[in-house]
Amino acid sequence: MKITMSDENKKYLEDTAKLFNIGENSNPQETIKLLERLNFYNEDKAIRLVNYFLTIEANPDILLRILKFVQKFNDKSSVSFLIDLLLFQNDYFEKCENKNSYDKVRSTAARILGNLKDNSAVDSLLYVLNNSNESYKLRLDAADALGRIGDIYAVPSLINVASDDREKSVYVRESAVKALGLLGDIRAVDPFIKMLEKNKAVAEKFKYLREQIVRAIGRLGTSDERTIRALEQSLLDESPQVRIEALDALSQVENERVLEIIEPFILDKDETVARTAICALFDVAGREYLEGLLEKDDVPEHCKDEIILIFEEEDEEDA
């Protein structure tokens, strides 16, 4: 990014950059040590300096140290400079022979943009996310940042990435699903259900993707019959964690059928799933319902232990 400034201000920034050996690359380790002096600067002045340093430095290690200060200050004046890093548009990168050496720098820039939650970064993050030639790590960090920024403009692109069976990286798809869960846009419900129906019997590598889809459906909070059926089917998944996510999601649904769907899973072969079913029943039906379960002989002991723990925690909160 080209910085517009007065001659006096420009000279101050250039002189200070020389004091820090920024842009000279003669000794990166020495420059990294010199950057610690920024801790003693007035914060406004330090912010101006780190933003300027990002425009003239090309060493990845030094850039990562500068970005730690950008993260520390968390100031929106850094957004445009971070976007330039993300898109590899710093003029000083022209001589770079290995673009991949900047992947960590660009991923860090994406994460900071997510923290800053500035909508002006959305288009740039979408550009990276939709570029299949970029590293999967950078793309999933871009997806995560889009989720944290919370701009619904990103929803269609995130849905496309999450739903794309041709996408080489399942991690990118998982990150897009998580972002959609954070955004909470109901347009994602139908694609999520289709993905569950399509992937319910696929390879083990998609297990975590199914977990993320079920969790995201829970966050969206929809209670139509198709959503309930999809969550009910997820309770038959071989992965205990998928069943746990489905129980959690069902516990947030307002529908009279939910109780009868959840209760059989207190007998699940996985103890953690069974305990989660008890917690879900407490959320749906309350204390009196669990008191009734304590009286039943066919309720497993670990489920009764979970009920007692819930009651103890509730009594402590009321005390």
Q: Taking Cα atoms as reference points, which of 272, 259, 249 lies closest to residue 192? A: 249
Helix residue ranges per DSSP H, 35-78:
43-56, 60-73
Q: How far apart are CA 267 and CA 97, in angstroms?
A: 59
Label residue 256 by pLDDT band (50, 70, 90).
confident
Mean pLDDT within 44-53:
95
Higher pLDDT, residue 90 or 316 = 316
How much is the pLDDT for 207?
81
Question: Is the pLDDT reported for residue 85 higher than 60?
Answer: yes
Which tokens hold the place of 193?
Answer: 């259900």
How much is the pLDDT for 198?
74
pTM of the model: 0.80
Domain ranges of the chain: 1-116, 223-319
Question: Is the pLDDT reported for residue 204 higher than 60?
Answer: no
Q: How far apart are CA 318 and CA 255, in angstroms?
A: 28
Task: Out of 3.40.50.300, 1.10.150.120, 1.25.10.10, 1.10.12.10, select the CATH number for domain 223-319.
Answer: 1.25.10.10
Q: How far apart are CA 165 and CA 168, in angstroms?
A: 8
The 8 Å CB, 24+ separation contacts for 19-28 are 20/53, 22/53, 22/56, 22/57, 22/62, 23/56, 23/57, 23/58, 23/92, 25/58, 25/59, 25/62, 28/59, 28/61, 28/62
Question: Is the pLDDT reported for residue 7 higher than 80?
Answer: no
How much is the pLDDT for 315?
85
How much is the pLDDT for 197?
77
Q: CA separation (Å) from 122 to 178, 207, 235?
A: 16, 29, 36
Question: Is the pLDDT reported for residue 261 higher than 80?
Answer: yes
Chain center to CA of 129: 13
Question: Is the pLDDT reported for residue 144 higher than 70?
Answer: yes
Which is it for the CA torsion 273, 274, 280, 282, positive or negative? Answer: negative
Question: DSSP secondary-structure letter at 41?
Answer: S
Q: Are 137 and 103 in contact (CB under 8 A)?
A: yes
